[in-house]
């Protein structure tokens, strides 16, 4: 300051911009709630829930392995081979139509084309709820929720998302793999033999041999 008679001139814009340069850009962080862990404490520790997908002829296993396969029969996508609580079957009906058949210890549920639902052989309206399974229709999606598994079908894309509880770790088999965090053994046949041939692998998981 050259004199005490006058107040000093301070360029606040210069200092403001300098301070802002040290503040991180949070515009791309999204909402705070999106970065917080789930309130479901069961998802905080392993084993974690996993998802496999069927999109057209592209399969992605629970452990993240992808392969191409175009079927013409009925195949096990995933099943509980320890306790037999459920099985999820992909059935090729011909004319580029498919359905998923889900069996539990009490019911058999079919997700049919055009978002139709059949339970124990009868066409059924949604939503549908029983003690061990529920089915809801939200927009283009139909979601089946059972004990430790979910199946979501998107009608426009004909895409299936299959989710498993972490408590099925190492207990499943089928076209969606073994779910043990090892991609190398995802093409495992019911005999526990490994193969690199997708057709042989898929054929081994046929529900029956009526298509051969």
pLDDT tens string 10-23: 666 666 566 666 66
Residue 1, domain member (yes or no): no
Residue 177, domain member (yes or no): yes
- C-beta of residue 102 within 8 angstroms of C-beta of residue 88: yes
pTM of the predicted model as reported, rounded to 2 decimal places: 0.74
Residue 197, domain member (yes or no): yes
Residue 68, domain member (yes or no): yes
pLDDT tens string 93-117: 877 788 899 999 888 999 888 888 8
Residue 125, domain member (yes or no): yes
Residue 122, domain member (yes or no): yes
Q: How many domains does the chain have?
A: 1
Domain limits at 123? 48-204
Give the angle subtended at the CA of 153 by the CAs of 148 and 156, to the nearest 5°: 165
Residue 146, domain member (yes or no): yes
With CA atoms as reference, report the closest residue to 141 among 129, 122, 127.
Answer: 127
| Ramachandran class of 130: left when φ > 0, alpha when ψ lies in -120 to 50, beta otherwise | beta
Please, which residues bridge with residue 122 across strands? 119
pLDDT tens string 53-77: 999 999 999 999 999 999 888 999 9
Residue 34, domain member (yes or no): no
Q: Which of 5-19, 21-35, 164-178, 179-193 has the lowest mean pLDDT?
A: 21-35
Q: In what order do the strands lie in the sheet with 50-55?
A: 66-68, 58-60, 50-55, 159-164, 149-154, 141-146, 133-138, 128-129
């Amino acid at each position: 300051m050259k004199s005490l008679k006058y107040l000093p001139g301070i360029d606040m814009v210069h200092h403001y911009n300098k301070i802002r340069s040290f503040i991180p850009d949070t515009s791309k962080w999204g909402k705070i709630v999106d970065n917080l862990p789930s309130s479901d404490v069961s998802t905080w520790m392993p084993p974690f829930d996993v998802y496999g997908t069927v999109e057209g002829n592209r399969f992605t296993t629970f452990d993240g392995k992808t392969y191409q396969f175009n079927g013409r029969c009925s195949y096990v996508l995933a099943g509980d081979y320890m306790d037999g609580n459920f099985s999820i079957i992909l059935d090729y009906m011909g004319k580029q139509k498919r359905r998923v058949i889900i069996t539990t210890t009490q019911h058999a549920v079919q997700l049919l084309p055009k978002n139709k639902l059949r339970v124990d052989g009868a066409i059924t309206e949604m939503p549908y709820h029983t003690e061990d399974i529920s089915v809801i229709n939200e927009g283009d999606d139909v979601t089946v929720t059972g004990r430790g598994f979910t199946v979501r079908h998107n009608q426009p894309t004909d895409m299936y998302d299959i989710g498993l509880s972490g408590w099925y770790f190492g207990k499943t088999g089928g076209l969606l793999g073994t779910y043990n965090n090892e991609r190398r053994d995802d093409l495992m046949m019911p005999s526990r033999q490994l193969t690199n041939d997708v057709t042989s692998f898929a054929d081994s998981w046929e529900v029956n041999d009526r298509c051969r």
